[in-house]
A = this chain, B = another copy of it.
Amino acid sequence: MSFQGFTDVDQLAVNTIRTLAADVVAKGLAPVAHVLFSRFLNFNPKNSKWYNRDRFVLSNGHACALQYILLHLAGYKVSIDDLKNFRQIDSITPGHPEVGITDGIEVTTGPLGQGISNAVGLAIAQAHVGAVFNKDGYPLVNNKTYAFLGDGCLQEGVASEAASLAGHLQLGNLIAIWDDNRITIDGDTAVSFTEDVEARFRSYGWEVLHVTGGDNDLNAIAGAIAEARDNNAKPTLIALKTTIGYGSLKAGSHDVHGAPLKADDIKQLKTKFGFNPDESFVVPDKVADFWAKKAEVGEKANAEWDALFEKYKGQYPEDAAEFTRRLEGRLPDGWEKHLPVFKPEDAAVASRKLSENILNALAPHIPELIGGSADLTGSNLTRWKGAEDFQPPSTGLGSYKGRYFRFGVREHGMTAICNGLAAYGGLIPFGATFLNFVSYAAGAVRLSALSHLRVLNIATHDSIGLGEDGPTHQPIETAAWLRATPNLEFWRPADGNETSAAYLVALKSVHTPSVLALSRQNLPQLEGSSIEKASKGGYVLHEEKDADVTLVSTGSEVSIAVDAAKILQSKGLKVRITSLPCFITFDQQDHDYKVATLPGGAPIVSIEAYSTFGWAKYSHEHIGIDSFGASGPYLQVYKKFGLDGEQIAAKVEKVVAFYKKRGGDIFSPLDTAL
Contact = CB atoms under 8 A, between A and B. Distances in A.
A659 interface: yes
B155 A164 contact: yes
Contacts of A200: 199-200, 203-204
A118 to B, nearest CB: 13
A110 interface: yes
Interface string A138-163: 00000000000001110111111100
Interface string A359-403: 000000000000001011111000000000101000101000000
A536 interface: no
Interface string A173-208: 000000000001110001111111101101111000
Contact of A409 (B184, B195, B450): B184
Interface in A634-674: 636-637, 640, 651, 654-655, 657-659, 662, 664-665, 667, 669, 671-674
A111 B89 CA distance: 41
Copies in the complex: 2
Interface residues of A, number: 129
A23 interface: no
Contacts of A596: none
A480 interface: yes
Contacts of A614: 480, 484, 613-614, 616
A278 interface: no
Contacts of A258: 378-379
State the 9 A-B residue pairs at the shortest beta-carbon distance, nearest first.
A157-B157, A89-B632, A481-B481, A616-B616, A94-B631, A480-B484, A658-B673, A192-B408, A664-B665
A223 B316 CA distance: 65
A393 to B, nearest CB: 14
Contacts of A164: 155, 193, 195
A566 to B, nearest CB: 21
A613 B469 contact: no
A628 interface: yes
Given A191-B406, A408-B155, A437-B111, A655 B673 contact: yes
Contacts of A468: 87, 95
Interface string A202-217: 1111000000000000
A197 B669 CA distance: 55
Contact of A157 (B160, B603, B655): B160
